[in-house]
Amino acid sequence: MPDMKTALAALALMTGVGAALPAHAADGIVRHPEKDFPISTVIEVPAGASTIYLSGEGAPVQDKKADPHTIAAYGDTRTQTRAALESIQGELKKLGLDLGDVVQMHVYMVEDPKLGKLDFDGMMKAYTQFFGTAKQPNLPVRSAFGVAHLGNPGWLVEIEVTAVRVPGR
């Protein structure tokens, strides 16, 4: 009699719902990907893992000639998202972690005045350069929020993450 994992895998192959099955990582973290979208809907963290909370990160100044209190200094939503994720990547590296260890992400966004709306597409274009790639396939659970203002008037995006360190790493 096959075990449950084998039976589920066979069922997934027969029915074509493989994307709905959780991804079991060698570190014990189980990620349940959302079908056709680069986030997980649920993540299970094994007992004994350490939780690491990173404060919100915005983009560092991209154009040093621009007023640091303006969007011109930081770039559009895509540029700011990429730069914020690079900053987060750097902070995680200091802890011996990487973006693959991120299990939860909150993205706070304000309306881009040039577009007259949130630039969700711009955020997603930058996000998918870091998550769900062949190099880094681990997907966090994620929420994106439209907010009235961020702490820095030049920011269009601020991102906070939660990462985990499993025992032995």
Express each pLDDT in 118-163 by its tens digit: 999 999 999 999 999 999 999 999 999 999 999 999 999 999 999 9
Q: For residue 82, give every residue at least 6 positions away whose Cβ sits within 8 Å of its Cβ, in sequence order, or none.
A: 59, 126, 129
Q: How far apart are CA 39 and CA 33, in angstroms?
A: 6
At 108-120, the pLDDT tens digits run 999 999 999 999 9
Q: Is the pLDDT of residue 11 over 50?
A: no
At 63-87, the pLDDT tens digits run 999 999 999 999 999 999 999 999 9
Q: Which three-class secondary structure state does DSSP give residue 161?
A: strand
pLDDT at 26: 59
pTM of the predicted protein model: 0.83
Q: Copy the structure tokens of residue 120.
A: 């969700």
* Length reported for the chain: 169
Q: What are the two backbone dihedrals, phi and then psi, of residue 51, each rounded to the nearest 5 degrees?
A: -100, 130
Q: Is the pLDDT of residue 88 over 70?
A: yes
The CATH number of 49-165 is 3.30.1330.40
Map out the domains of the chain as residue ranges: 49-165
Cα 45–142–20 angle (5° rounding)?
70
Averaged pLDDT score across all residues of the chain = 87
Buried b (16+ CB within 10 A) or exposed e, 104-120: bbbbbbbebeeeeebbe
pLDDT at 23: 56
State the pLDDT confidence band at 167, using cuts at 50, 70 and 90: confident
Query: Residue 75, exposed/middle/buried by CB under 10 A (0-12, 13-18, 19+)?
Result: buried
pLDDT at 33: 87
State the pLDDT confidence band at 50, using cuts at 50, 70 and 90: very high
